[in-house]
A and B are shown apart, each in its own frame.
Chain A
Amino acid sequence: MRIPCPHCGQRDRREFYYSGADDLLHRPATDDPAAWDNYLHLRDNPAGDTRDLWYHEPCGTWIVVSRNTVTHAVDGAQAVTDVAQGVRT
């Protein structure tokens, strides 16, 4: 599996650290425990298209990768700093 780093191009999967679904970009605005449970623990866990967070260790960039969990096909990636970090209320 190769992942397109926005800065470095197509790189081997071994250069990346995986951190789970991109839910972590949507930090709750409230201190409601249910919202935090949802943010930290609960996942859509899709069989198919997903967006998840990877860290490219050589260049130190967090990226959001669009890929398919069934076929392992990778559609593209964006730096987290270029992705609107929506806040869930």
Chain B
Amino acid sequence: MRYSGLKVITEGLFGNKGWKPAWRDPAPKPEYDAIIVGGGGHGLATAYYLAKDHGLTNIAVLEKGYLGSGNIGRNTTIVRANYFLQGNSEFYSHSLKLWEGLEAELNYNVMHSQRGLINLFHSDGQRDAFVRRGNAMINQSDDAVLLDREGVRKLLPYLDFDNTRFPIYGGLLHPRGGTARHDAVAWGYARGADTRGVDLIQNCEVTGIDIENGQVTGVQTSRGAIRAKKVGMIVAGRSGQVAAMAGMRLPVESHVLQAFVTEGLKPVIDHVISFGMGHFYISQSDKGGLVFGGDLDFYASYASRGNLPMVEHVMEAGMTLMPMIGRAKVLRSWGGIMDMTPDGSPIIDKTHINGLYIDCGWNYGGFKAVPASGWCMAHLMATDKSHQFARRFRLDRFATGHVMDEEGTGSQHNLH
């Protein structure tokens, strides 16, 4: 069913009785050409591009819960392309271009809002680093504008400019950065994949990966064995467990990252703002809630909830930056399981087993990457070759020393 304004009006006139489920609920077939483990944003996007661009429609997405039940529905929805390192730069640039066409592509309102992202800086050294980053973004044909203190004040008059510990020197504005409706991205890709014949199988947990003579032959699941010569593992925080089924040990440690949302308020924050000194970032959702977050809790965790010390730290950072939000009431906080790599960059690569592919290590930047990750992973699974935009996201780069440490924080999983 194609959605349109006319359809909405017609359905409104006739009691909304004509809407149909956006995707089927098929039983698993005994065999597929390819299987994607994980029905989150990246898995659904991979399935979509496999079907649309590579003609692979006899495929299944296996999801142990419901579609979009993981990090795609738990993140702070920021979409940006402000990376510095070669490899990251072209990948996220491509992702942002896909975002810009996504609603037309999927015939689905993902509420992509390019409201502008501002990274604040607080010292001369930080300004130099941001000038350099802005130049890298412009070289990548993306957009960056350096704002001085008065430039920031014009856009964000409510910040505490007189803070003595972290005086605001200026900010790097990325006008095409913004936010999107996170669930809608998963649903849009799911519907697009389903329409093209992809079986989206929910409540189907993969319990084993079948390998014969170095070639993957299928998976064992809670709904029986399914054969396939190609299997993609796209399970984010659970990558360690799924890869272990294939006898692999990954450069990944899973950590909890918390996020917070306040009660709905009148429009007050027009941009996405990040405050690197306190590690705090904030935007306002279309419902009016202030959505914000900070650092990891810093210890390995699968709990999907965090501890109070980081709650306190995030609130302190928020109050340091913009005291005006002090009266807003926090409605909810939650945690997501982040697949942290030792250099903070992701992995989209083949494994040592033929037909087994992996897409993981998104740290806490996976949401904006969803379109390009799906695009590049689909290319890899269909052609057996890395896409040019993902060629540096190698699984073996830690062993060979080709690391991509965007923040330059060193080889420890929780420091990125």
Binding site for B on A (CB under 8 A): 1, 12-14, 18-21, 33-34, 37-38, 40-47, 50, 52, 54, 69-72
Chain B residue, CB-CB nearest to A24 = B412
- The B interface is mostly helix, strand or loop, or mixed, namely mixed
Are B253 and A19 in contact, CB atoms less than 8 angstroms apart? Answer: no
CA distance A42 to B248 in the complex (A): 9
**Which chain B residues in 221-252 approach chain A with CB under 8 Å?**
238-241, 244, 249-252
- The A interface is mostly helix, strand or loop, or mixed, namely mixed
Q: Which residues of A contact B399 (CB under 8 A)?
A: 33-34, 37, 41
User: Which residue, A12, A41, A44, has most C-beta atoms of chain B within 10 A?
Assistant: A41
- A63 to nearest B CB, angstroms? 13
Are A42 and B251 in contact, CB atoms less than 8 angstroms apart? Answer: yes
- A-contact 0/1 string along B380-416, CB 8 Å cutoff: 0000000000000000001100000000000111100
Chain B residue, CB-CB nearest to A47 = B302
In the assembled complex, B300 has its CB within 8 A of some CB on chain A: yes
Partner of B303, one of A13, A41, A71: A71
- Known contacts: A13-B309, A72-B301. The answer to whether A37 contacts B398 by CB under 8 A is yes
- Known contacts: A43-B240, A47-B240. The answer to whether A69 contacts B301 by CB under 8 A is yes
Are B307 and A13 in contact, CB atoms less than 8 angstroms apart? Answer: yes
Are A46 and B240 in contact, CB atoms less than 8 angstroms apart? Answer: yes
CA distance A40 to B411 in the complex (A): 8
Top 9 nearest A-B pairs (CB, nearest first) are: A45-B240, A37-B399, A41-B398, A41-B251, A42-B249, A47-B302, A18-B299, A70-B302, A14-B309
In the assembled complex, B342 has its CB within 8 A of some CB on chain A: yes
The contact sample of 22 A-B pairs, CB cut-off 8 A, is: A12-B309, A13-B307, A18-B298, A20-B412, A37-B398, A42-B250, A42-B251, A43-B413, A45-B241, A45-B252, A45-B253, A45-B300, A46-B240, A47-B238, A47-B240, A47-B254, A50-B300, A52-B300, A69-B302, A69-B303, A72-B303, A72-B307
Q: Which residues of A contact B302 (CB under 8 A)?
A: 47, 69-70
CA distance A13 to B251 in the complex (A): 26
Are B253 and A43 in contact, CB atoms less than 8 angstroms apart? Answer: yes
Chain B residue, CB-CB nearest to A16 = B299
- Known contacts: A40-B411, A43-B249, A45-B254. The answer to whether A69 contacts B300 by CB under 8 A is yes
